[in-house]
Each structure stands twice: as C-alpha cells, then as structure tokens.
Amino acid sequence: MIMRSGQQLLLPASPVFIWSSLVAALLLNMLPLGRVPWMPDFLALVLLFWSVHQPHRVGIGIAFMFGLAMDVHQTSLLGQHAFSYVALSFFASMIQRRLLWFKVPLQALQVLPLFATAHAAEMVLRLLGGGIFPGWIVLVAPLAEALLWPVASVLLLVPQLRTPDRDENRPL
C-alpha cells in the first residue's frame, strides 16, 4: 500500500498486545457502573480499531465471539451485541483502505456513522426482543465513541511506533 508523505512506518502489531487490548476493553465494558445508555462501548471502539488496522488478525469471527461474551454478561438477547459487533467489523473491512488515508481527526468523522449503525442495530434488536426504549440520550454513545477514536488511535499505535534498532545513520 502506498503511504502518505510524512506517515511513519509501523512495526507489526504483536498478537499479545492485540488480544490484551481487546480483553481490557471487554473488562472495561464489564465494570459495574449500571446500565447507562450514553456510556461509550469501549469494546466496539477497540474492535473497530483493530478491524481497520489489523484486518487479518481481528475480523468478524473475533467480533462475534466478543459480542456473545457481552450478551452473556449483560443478560441481554443472545446475539444482540454479536450482531452489532459483526456489522461493525464488516463495515470496517469495507472502508478500511479508504479510512487509513485520512488523518486521525477526520477518521473520527468517518467512523461516526459506523458506531451509529452498530448502536441502531443493537437498539432495533433490543426493541424487537421486547425491551424498552432508553430515550434519546442513547445518541450520545456513538458521538462519545467517535470522540474517543483519536485517543484510542494514539494509545493502540504506541507500541508499533518505536524503531526496532536505533541507528544514527538510518532515518527510519
């Protein structure tokens, strides 16, 4: 893939780091804060990030597995989070190549519709299953996730930015 000028060359992502960040996001979602509809879905944020940056390692199957874990944890309709995470991962794979050409703040604008679609799919499945509508405050969650995208990008790309062997004569 042709890189933008000024973009730093990244090291390969460690599978241990990818999995640990996904598990940390899952545990962050499982904090006992109560069911707050405006709370951002940290697991969806990290899944989308790795689906964009490492599509061969984190894909639809991983999204489905973590979605089932969230369904079991929240005792919600089985498959509700799984469907929204799979849709999120699928749409991320569709825009992955185009998204990486933008700078991080513009990427946040590009992923906002993906987060909104995932939350809308989850909400529709919840309502079809007999759940109640939590109110319009639920629209804050995709906005919060899009605002957290630059933070997640910086935090999750830090281990890949270091050079493997520092050398005075080599600029990379």
Per-residue pLDDT tens over the stretch 106-140: 999 999 999 999 999 999 998 998 888 888 888 89
Distance CA 131, CA 150 (A): 33
Q: Enumerate the H helices of the chain as residue ranges.
A: 15-29, 42-53, 60-74, 80-99, 104-128, 140-161
Amino acid occupying residue 73:
H
State the pLDDT confidence band at 28, using cuts at 50, 70 and 90. Answer: very high
Instruction: Report CA 18 to chain centroid distance, whole Å.
Output: 12
Q: How confident is residue 5, by pLDDT bands cut at 50, 70 and 90?
A: low
* Category of 64 on φ-ψ map: left (φ > 0), alpha (ψ -120 to 50) or beta: alpha
CB 93 within 8 A of CB 59: yes
Percent of the chain with pLDDT over 70: 88
**Which pLDDT value is given to residue 2?**
54
So where are the chain's domains?
Answer: 15-28+39-159
The residue whose two tokens read 């799919």 is 121
Residue ranges of alpha helices (H) inside 6-79 are 15-29, 42-53, 60-74
Rounded (10°) angle between helices 42-53 and 15-29: 160
CB 153 within 8 A of CB 104: yes
Cβ atoms of 91 and 47 closer than 8 Å: no
Q: Region 79-96: what's the mean pLDDT?
A: 94
pLDDT of residue 137: 87
Supply 144's token pair: 């919060």
pLDDT(27) > 80? yes
The b-or-e profile of 151-160 (16+ CB within 10 A means b, else e) is ebbeebbeee
Length of the chain: 172
